[in-house]
Structure 1
């Protein structure tokens, strides 16, 4: 779709110049009315020769009414010309001062039109119409920035999370193509159907993730312990291949949320604990409730490389993995993720009103703690959050 061309416009007419002319016109009109009033009053001066009240001043010239009116008309023209000059000059500077906030708003609009949505006007001063307009414009930029960020986040999450079911589907089809006569086609069709349904469900969950209101609408009671047990079971073959031993300490963990999104978040934590581990390493998953704070908790620990607190906290940033910036196709063990696993977990936890904490594990590795509001009590953030 081609962009809509800007509307054709005539020569630029400065609003400042028009305001200056308006101020000058108003000033001249007010002066003209005043002088007209004086002229009308002088019309009532008697039209006969005037004499001085003091006989000693009888020789002094005394103007008649016609002479006074003629002088008044001449002076009025000069005064109106002076008022016009003063009005245009003063109006020009006054209009510039009044319109200065509009220049800032216009500059912000130009920056936004160029693709930058992080610029804000943040106008200070009196709470007048210009400041209200600037605040409204800033709010609009906030909404646009959030909308574009949500769109980009959905595209990134979708490309990351759909890679696994699509890879499974591709593998099944490749095997069937290479050995078409040795396949159990009913079982193959069943596996493809399950994988496809998972991809469809994941796509719908990611679409809900793009809208926090949609997540709330899909909220239902579930036990996070069962979700963790399922995720560990699905990751068991990979954990066995990598020599990672799981320690499960699962207690009842009731939450109210979107089951598909929470399942994907838990699966990401379990996969990260396995993939970013050491040879013959270990991983721990524990669930429970904190009645004092009214939250349900999930803690996932794994052995692995050592992190500083700052480096651990940054792992939730998109496209950042445990080894550093994301790499693709660097050989076995690389390119398995696109650095969005923990970013997706952080987003899921956020839309559910919870908190995500990443901290180094003593001896190397990572400790991930998720706290979600428990349906059995109010959610009280931990001190310092």
Structure 2
């Protein structure tokens, strides 16, 4: 039995019965510990019902033990007789709760992984390379923030998707593959809400994740998209991602994740980097600029223009942007090298390396600068 798939629905049952989110989440974690201990010997006929019953008892015990919360105990209903749990899906409610606008992005991601993903605090801390105590404090503060939140109005789907996108972009650290976890959670969300942007995000994740094995060389260095061995791409995952995207696009409610997925699909469609349809990619970037107005999107569009219309055209687009943008120097270095100015490109690669946010990217950019300086 996969405990992680049951966690959000069990928390949701407790919240609907009157428990605040923080207390419900704590009670469910206690119930999961008990399940790990007893289920191998005494497996329940109704796992969800068992967890609901045990978690509710834990909640009531904690409530009774706290004199300051006795009035809350009087307000909740009496303990139910153990039996089959109602098949009410509270997953969507928890998604919206964990992506509440009062939370910082980091707290929203951590709370989503804990409450919806069912990960332990230690697993989340390992994934983010922070001490377990630090992550515990972050999750505790987040739970306190949303404890009093009620759902009289529908939640913001865009905020939920942004949180899942942040989880996916964290990639892999520790014993939890956050990219795979983000895909699992987005699939789960797609089963409880019918929205083309949910499908668009799932397609985008699948299309990017399909290239994962080709991104890292044997020595641990990054492999740029154009140099990747496309035979190592996961074709089944690409096929699934394209099919999901096509269904979403057919609904004619374009959003930014669908547009990003369309760009990823065009890259996946090319058998070789030289066959990439850069003209159509520029057109999709135009849609993304219209949808988001994002300077980062404009920066990526400059690269696409440089491929479609030549490096000079890409540099002209780049000149209209703020040089302080993340990765601006790296893009400028690439376009200058394409234009034949190796000296400027080497200088800019070195500058980009100094500004890189992670060791793998810094190493890659340093190698590019060294290659040009020794050429």
TM bucket, shorter chain:
under 0.3
Q: Which of structures 1 and 2 has the larger relative contact order (alpha carbons within 8 angstroms, sep 6+)? A: 1
- Greater share of helix: 2
TM-score, length-scaled by structure 2: 0.24
Greater Rg over alpha carbons, structure? 1
